[in-house]
Amino acid sequence: MDLTLKVWRQANATAKGKFEQYKVNDISPDTSFLEMMDVMNENLIQQGVEPVAFDHDCREGICGMCSLFVNGRAHGPDDDITTCQLHMRKFKDGETITIEPWRAAAFPVIKDLMVDRAAFDKILQAGGFVSVNTGGVPDANAIPIGKAEADEAMDAATCIGCGACVATCKNSSAMLFVSAKVSQLALLPQGKIEAKRRAKNMLAKMDEMGFGSCSNTGACEVECPKGISLAHIARFNREFIKAKFND
């Protein structure tokens, strides 16, 4: 496959960015998207051009680092995947591919395709934790938890914090991310200690970090690589209302 890549280049958070075009040739359809990016960067280095900066780590769909907008879609033209799981067979020979970073005020560009998602960490620090006594590890079955609740909590815990929900939402809302983190704790007995303040604190921090409000369009659920359900947003709202009434 021979491809034209239209890539966003930006020196730093305050610099003015622009698209640059690069050619890559003889790319196998079985190549992953990030491997194709590696080939592009190798070509640029050989030409004496600074390579394109982009985030990546595990390349197994677990870490959530490979956050790119590809042809106007978070993580590219496929469902339930991260960018590292996208393969070039999803594109046509001779196609022009547009590659951009996440576009959200709360995720400022660091360089090129890399954005700062520290806002997510600050939201978690505001309430995404449980308080337990340290010491010996209790037996796994010491606290009985219903299978339905355990399964739903595990489904919420699969959120990898990639930020696709924010980048896709027209308001740059982080509600799907925050609600998943609230759900995975609200469903378990260990999460009850902070329940009265978790939702309030995390929502307040989300607003402080510059994320928008949820408008219930559902775009976040569609583009989430882990299929996090909008039902978690409903639970988050219930947790928030309960916390407000318990003030």
Q: pLDDT (tens digit, 0 to 9) for every residue of the chain, 247 residues total?
A: 999 999 999 999 999 999 999 999 999 999 999 999 999 999 999 999 999 999 999 999 999 999 999 999 999 999 999 999 999 999 999 999 999 999 999 999 999 999 999 999 999 999 998 876 656 766 767 778 889 999 999 999 999 999 999 999 999 999 999 999 999 999 988 888 888 899 999 999 999 999 999 988 999 999 999 999 999 999 999 999 988 877 6
Residue 80 structure tokens:
């339930």
Q: What's the pLDDT at 135?
A: 67
19: DSSP letter? E
In the chain, CATH 3.10.20.30 covers 3-110
**3-110, what's its fold?**
Ubiquitin-like (UB roll) (3.10.20)
Distances (CA, A) of 163 to 56, 209, 211, 224: 14, 14, 11, 9
- Residue range 117-245 forms a domain whose CATH class is mainly alpha
- Assign 114 to helix, strand or coil: strand
d(CA 81, CA 21): 26
* Residue listed under structure tokens 């604190």: 201
Write the CB contacts of 120 (distance below 8 Å, at least 6 apart in sequence).
Answer: 161, 163, 174, 177
**CATH 1.10.1060.10 region(s) of the chain?**
117-245
pLDDT score for 189: 87
3-state secondary structure of 233: helix
Tokens 């590659």 appear where? 99
d(CA 180, CA 228): 7
